[in-house]
Amino acid sequence: MTLKVLVMSGSARRASLNRRFAAFAAERLAAGGAAVTTVDWGALDLPLYHGDLEAAGLPTGALALRRLLAEHDALFVSTPEYNAFVPPLLVNAFDWVSRVPASDGLPQGLATTAGKVAGLVSASPGPLGGLRSLGALRGFLGATIGLLVVPEHYALGQADKALADGATLDARQDAGLQRVVDAVLRTGRALQAARGA
């Protein structure tokens, strides 16, 4: 059975370094035999969460993202670091998903992520490559969202040079990304096999 991986960037900006890094990851996941879908944040209606908006009706983007999460076996995230923390885009997206009740034959929002595998990378122009956001995101996705985050991770420093137009990753950078990709594929397939047994 083909492993289905949902890839998302922690930034919706068109020229985002993490959108580029997520695209590199998507290529490697596909080369490893996974069926890959990339989240298009621009196509999702996800306003900043608050209860009054929820009371008026869930945004279509929350329902669409819940469906995407339900339809995939694994998640791969490339995230920037905002003030040493997780970008608001990701927190807001999962805040909305957590509010979606079971409907249309799909489970409640967080039930779509429980026990699924996730891989994390980051990219930043700074020397740490967004490393500080990875710890916070790991805790959020693991403890709160219920994902099984693989221990492997990679932070791409000086990403503005590494991901410049026409640039390719050097051997060390490529190996760092591939290590996370391989961990997601390996763990995702092991979980598939265990659940199918």
**CATH code for the domain in which residue 106 is found:** 3.40.50.360
Q: At what angle do helices 60-71 and 88-98 cross, to 10 degrees?
A: 90
Distance CA 158, CA 113 (A): 32
Q: Write out pLDDT tens, residues 88-117.
A: 999 999 999 999 999 999 999 999 999 999
Torsion region of 120: left, alpha or beta (phi above 0 gives left; psi -120 to 50 gives alpha): beta
Residue numbers of the domain that contains 126: 4-196
Q: Write out pLDDT tens, residues 25-55.
A: 999 999 999 999 999 999 998 999 999 999 9
DSSP letter string, 161-191: HHTSTT----HHHHHHHHHHHHHHHHHHHHH
Q: How many CB atoms lie within 10 A of CB 197?
A: 5
State percent of the chain over pLDDT 90: 94
DSSP letter string, 111-169: GGTTT-EEEEEEE-SSTTTTHHHHHHHHHIIIIIT--EEEEEEEEETTHHHHTSTT---
Residue 197 pLDDT more than 80? no
User: The whole model's pTM is what?
Assistant: 0.96
pLDDT of residue 98: 97
Q: How many domains does the chain have?
A: 1
CA 185 to chain centre: 14
